[in-house]
């Protein structure tokens, strides 16, 4: 996936209207390099297309992509090899690494969550807790790690939460208002208790979010719903608890940490020749 506008903005931010004073001072205009983007860790890679776009944007064309987005790489594996103007390569270096490191971190973390629930019917899903301007990229990285996406934007579907219920004057009023205004929109409702779940079931929501419930409560919710709607567990779930929640029978576990707390994946640029 490529967001060319973000590539341009990142490079513009890095130069801030000036030039790379270090490279201009130390490297001749026509100097050539071959350099490789190398994984320092093992994990799932995302951001290859963005890194390629960065290299292209600075005028480089001899670019060899060795690992595709979504692939698993081992420590020491070369992801991209580029040959061309030395100043251009060094100008692109940090911006390309920023995209690769952050997005691969998300993909790698997501893959660990997915592995934890393997063998169950539960899917790992992200949230809207994304970096402003990076949402499509971060959610793409989640998919590369084997996860699934929740709504991309507020306009995709309705998620009726406690504040909406309070503002509308009750859960039924909130549900009916959404259904009236947007009859085709999927509707998800958040509940905090099994009693609230029983109350919203007759409304026939497309999905119910079980907020901060224990695995035992989630299991009871699955039994109560009996297939009438899909269920999503959310709120403070750790990766150590992932399998326990998945085995309750919920359809999804929603994990904001996939995008807001993923550790940067260590990738470096190594110069191979001059």
125: which residues sit within 8 A by CB, 6+ positions away? 147, 148, 149, 150, 232, 252, 253, 254, 255
pLDDT value at 274 more than 70: no
What number does CATH give the domain 4-110+262-273? 3.90.1170.20
What number does CATH give the domain 114-260? 3.20.20.70
Structure tokens at 5: 């506008």
- Annotated active-site residue in 36, 41, 77, 94: 94
The question of whether 41 is a catalytic residue gets the answer no
The question of whether 244 is a catalytic residue gets the answer no
The question of whether 211 is a catalytic residue gets the answer yes
pLDDT (tens digit per residue) in 65-92: 999 999 999 999 999 999 999 999 999 9
Name the residue ranges covered by the structural domains of the chain. 4-110+262-273, 114-260
| pTM for the model | 0.95
In this structure, the strands spanning 72-73 and 78-85 are unpaired
Give the Cα separation of 249 and 75 in Å (integer): 36
pLDDT (tens digit per residue) in 221-241: 999 999 999 999 999 899 999
């Amino acid at each position: 996936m490529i967001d060319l506008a973000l590539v341009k903005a990142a490079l513009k931010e890095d130069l801030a209207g000036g030039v790379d004073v270090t490279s201009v001072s130390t490297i001749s205009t026509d100097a050539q390099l071959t350099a490789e983007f190398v994984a320092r860790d093992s994990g799932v890679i995302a951001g290859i297309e963005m890194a390629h776009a960065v290299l292209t944007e600075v005028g480089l064309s001899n670019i060899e992509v060795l690992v595709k987005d979504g692939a698993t790489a081992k420590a020491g594996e070369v992801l991209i090899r580029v040959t061309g103007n030395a100043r251009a390569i060094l100008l692109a270096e940090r911006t390309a690494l920023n995209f690769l490191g952050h997005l691969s971190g998300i993909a790698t973390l997501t893959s660990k969550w997915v592995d934890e629930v393997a063998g169950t019917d539960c899917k790992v899903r992200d949230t809207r807790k994304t970096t402003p301007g990076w949402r499509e990229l971060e959610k793409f990285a989640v998919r590369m790690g084997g996860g699934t996406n929740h709504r991309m934007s507020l306009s995709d579907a309705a998620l009726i939460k406690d504040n909406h219920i309070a503002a509308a004057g009750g859960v039924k009023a909130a549900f009916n208002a959404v259904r009236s205004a947007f009859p085709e929109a999927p509707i998800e409702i958040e509940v905090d208790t099994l009693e609230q779940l029983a109350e919203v079931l007759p409304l026939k929501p497309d999905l119910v979010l079980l907020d901060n419930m224990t695995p035992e409560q989630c299991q009871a919710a699955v039994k109560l719903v009996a297939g009438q709607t899909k269920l999503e567990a959310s709120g403070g779930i750790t990766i150590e608890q992932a399998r326990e929640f998945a085995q309750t029978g919920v359809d999804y576990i929603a994990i904001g940490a996939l995008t807001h707390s993923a550790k940067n994946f260590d990738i470096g640029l190594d110069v191979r020749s001059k």
